[in-house]
Amino acid sequence: MEFTLQGFTQTQLIMFVLLLGLLFFSLFFIFRLKKSSLKQDSTSLKPKPLSLKSILNQKLDELILKTKTLDPQFLDSLEELLYTSDLGPKTVDKLLTHVRAELSRGELKDPLKVKTIISQKIFETLNVNVQSQIKTKPHVILIVGVNGVGKTTSIGKLAYHYSQQGKKTMVVAADTFRAAAGDQLNIWAKRAEVSIYTSTQTQDPAAVAYQGLEKAIKEQSDVVIIDTAGRLHNKENLMEELKKVKRVIQKILPEAPHQILLVIDANSGQNALVQARQFNEALKLTGLVVTKLDGTAKGGIIVGIADELGVLPSYIGVGEKITDFKIFSAQEFSKALIF
Ligand SMILES: Nc1nc2c(ncn2[C@@H]2O[C@H](COP(=O)(O)OP(=O)(O)OP(=O)(O)O)[C@@H](O)[C@H]2O)c(=O)[nH]1
Ligand SMILES: [Mg+2]
């Protein structure tokens, strides 16, 4: 029997309740969807964690996978692997001593724990506070390195990093060797929205650096970053040219350059150590910029350089975009290299 409620039939009422239910569930799902997409947006704004296609990690995994017991043969293979991974003799010795000690105490049963030990020792080698805080105005940074390692690109990224912090930044085109170098730096200066000093009167990089610095002081820049031409570390006259750039800068500001950063390509292996040694002898480096860590990276050489020369990375480059740049973190790097 059909009853009526204020003129509605029973079927109409059931339909109405069903429709109301459907509407309620639709609203509920739309709300959930929106909430999860908002969550995704906010996480994508966070800096990406460093992930390396690390050869050392791959080799360690292969060794561990075929290891059944942690016997002397495993130790021999581990030793060989570590010595060929550019970690430097001091770090490798420390690592092996530690692994052997844990083994003889019977505390090392799981081969995977070897990775934790290695990562920890690498962290200890790299965990030295690199002084890069801006204390004086202008803060002068001289960028050096061999050809094509990513000096100009890193300057663009570093300039952007400082301009984002509200620092008045100027880049100086003291690479007078390549005709297009000034134009390339100009493109980066535009991207980073910072000013640039280029000279049309002189080809002498020291003179350009001098004039650029004078202009930066006049304009009250907070940060001045000087680009230089790529050069081979074993060409004495070219290294002398860089020493002159440093001397001339010091005529205006005796305590400058406050940072001298050597840019190295993460994939150059042992050659990066040779470069670092020679540039350090000539200029006394304050730090490294390690580029191209987005490719298949040997990476271990960073530990080797820290181990032998006490020169540590200040920044890393992880791509070609202006934001593909990170302040170096020993913790993040030691983890990404091993795991
Ligand atoms: N994948 C990748 N490429 C990079 C990175 N940094 C620089 N590059 C590339 O490396 C190449 C050389 O970069 P430049 O900045 O011109 O190098 P440079 O050291 O100034 O070169 P010269 O002035 O000729 O000595 C360019 O193709 C850059 O895009 C990085 O972190 N990752
Ligand atoms: Mg360049």
Please say whether the beta carbons of 290 and 317 come within 8 A. Answer: yes
- The tens digit of pLDDT for each residue in 301-310 reads 999 999 999 9
Phi, psi of 326 (to 5 degrees): -140, 150
In this structure, which ligand is nearest to the CA of 315? Answer: 1
Q: What is the pLDDT of residues 2-44, one digit of tens each?
A: 455 567 788 888 888 899 988 888 888 777 765 544 443 333 3
- Report the candidate in 222, 204, 310 with the shortest Cα–Cα distance to residue 258: 222
The string of pLDDT tens digits covering residues 211-251 is: 999 999 999 999 999 999 999 988 899 999 999 999 999 99
Pocket of ligand 1 (CB under 6 A): 145, 147-153, 175, 181, 230, 291-292, 294-295, 317-320, 324
pTM: 0.85
8 Å CB contact between 329 and 43: no
Ligand 1 center to residue 149 CA distance, Å? Answer: 5
Q: How far is CA 26 from CA 16, 30, 37, in A?
A: 15, 6, 17
Ligand nearest to the CA of 319: 1
Query: Among 190, 230, 223, 196, which Cα is nearest to 212's?
Result: 196
Strand 169-174, strand 195-197: pairing: parallel
Q: Residues within 5 Å of ion ligand 2 by Cβ?
A: 151-152
Q: Which of 153, 238, 241, 262 to mutate to test the pocket of ligand 1 (most atoms within 8 A of CB)?
A: 153
